Chain A
Amino acid sequence: MSYGIRLHIWGERACFTRPELKTERFSYDVITPSAARGILEAIHWKPAIRWCVDRIHVLKPIRFESIRRNEVAGKLPASTVSKGIKSGRTDEVCYYVDQNRQQRAATVLRDVGYVIEAHFEFTARADDSDTAGKHLDIFNRRARQGQCFHHPCLGTREFPANFELIEADVQMPIVDNDLSGERDLGFMLHDIDFANGKAPRFYRARMIDGVIEVPPFAEALA
């Protein structure tokens, strides 16, 4: 266990897709621990560390909006590419979007704001040079200055996330009154177990006055 961090993130729209409703994307009510981890990793990550989300503070009322877009239906087969390499030409390696059209609706969140409370743990790949202080400092310095490896997003890349570090001595942003009381958000994705054939793990999300306690990954349901 090392020192925790608090990061305030917010944005216009967000889509944390429910795995059961992913063809026509439908967002969860709130950010998943997995998406929150991705945001932290966009700012700082090394193979030596693993981010663990402890708590999610939901700051704004949960509202949805629907967007329908033209999307492509398939992916490029790897064999097409190797064919292209072999023949040394690129004209066959392409994808005709108007023949592979899909119109898909997405139900996304509007005007979101969260505070992620998290800490990191060391993985088996950490060595002597990986001290808690070093990684914590790097993260805090970057988050403070708005630096990032790539710009973090709220679920999908078209919804960029703004972020700001909440310093240790600073008060938390105010949670909207709408969120007071207890709310059961049902089973939500906790994270994907990459060590175990990318198996998803779930947890029962309970929001009390806007705060969701995230159990350790090991306790999440397979």
Chain B
Amino acid sequence: MTAIANRYEFVLLFDVTNGNPNGDPDAGNLPRLDPETNQGLVTDVCLKRKIRNYVALEKEDEPGHGIYMQEKSVLNQQHQKAYEALEIKPEAKKLPKDQAKARELTAWMCGNFFDVRTFGAVMTTEVNAGQVRGPVQLAFATSIDPVVPMEVSITRMAVTNEKDLEKERTMGRKHIVPYGLYRVHGYVSAKLAERTGFSDDDLELLWRSLTNMFEHDRSAARGEIAARKLIVFKHDNPMGNAPAHRLFDSVQITRVEGEQETPARSYQNYVIAIDREAIPAGVSVEERL
């Protein structure tokens, strides 16, 4: 597979309705908030998890599309297999000293695992080649406007423990964001792609996963999340033709005229404009969604 020959940047817009896009373990699973601005946050790793899950779902066990960072687990089965296959000398458990060997390992990992090829991975080798830096880099997603999380108390008509029997029911809490439109920036480096073999097919798969990942991540906590727009900037030059921040600045998101004072409750409350004049020569813009 030949690696991609262009640098890319992308802006993904997604929105959440009555759900919690990303809970904060520090705040009792409340939606993450920027403490200074009250804008909602979704971490980069949260989105990468969804991309991995989508790829695992679409590709199932297709060769070359393994997912190294797995979510669900089959506990002992894995360990057993490891015992069976164990014909490696004890010292091999340590780090391969010679570089060629380490490179071989890395190359094999890149070839077989989509997430290693895309996001990189750290493998325990002392040699530098054991660490892969992937071409795709995501930043935190932030909501356009401040979000106000709501706490919704719910009841369950059953109890878990026998001793609680006389209570008859238990109460729980859900934290939701009534509405939030989130924006995330991403970068794809052609030069790092060369090193991991991230190909054009992989790139297509990445775009597909970005637009579809929320469709396969429905749950009680998430509410309704949907990818709304994916704007891709393609540079002619592998090193790039324009600063990334200038491209990102060309995507302006504003509230519908006259509605600025009211809280947003749907995607229709926003206007998305791409200032195509501001985009320098050598960069093409594509709207994928």
Contacts and interface: CB of A to CB of B under 8 A. Distances in A.
Interface of A: 12-13, 65-72, 75-87, 90-99, 103, 105, 110, 142, 145-151, 153, 157-160, 162-164
A92 B85 contact: yes
A163 B63 CA distance: 39
A78 B75 CA distance: 21
Contacts of B133: 150
B137 A145 contact: no
A94 B70 contact: yes
Interface in B220-264: 237, 239-246
B240 A158 contact: no
Q: Is the interface of B mostly helix, strand, loop or mixed?
A: mixed
6 residue pairs, one from A and one from B, having the closest CB atoms: A146-B243, A68-B26, A150-B189, A147-B239, A162-B245, A96-B73
B139 A160 contact: yes
Contacts of B75: 99
A53 to B, nearest CB: 21
Interface residues of B, number: 68
Given A70-B45, A95-B70, A149-B189, A87 B124 contact: no
B277 interface: no
Contact of B69 (A67, A72, A90): A72
A151 B140 CA distance: 15
B43 A148 contact: no
Interface string B95-111: 11000001011001100
Q: Per DSSP, are chain A's interface residues mostly helix, strand or loop, or mixed?
A: mixed
28 contacts: A12-B140, A69-B43, A69-B45, A71-B45, A72-B69, A76-B121, A76-B122, A78-B95, A78-B123, A79-B88, A81-B123, A82-B88, A82-B105, A83-B85, A90-B112, A93-B66, A93-B109, A93-B113, A97-B70, A110-B36, A145-B243, A148-B240, A150-B133, A150-B137, A150-B189, A158-B139, A160-B139, A162-B245
Contact of A81 (B43, B108, B237, B243): B108
A75 B122 contact: yes
A157 B125 CA distance: 21
B44 interface: yes
B279 interface: no
B24 interface: yes
A72 B122 CA distance: 11
B267 interface: no
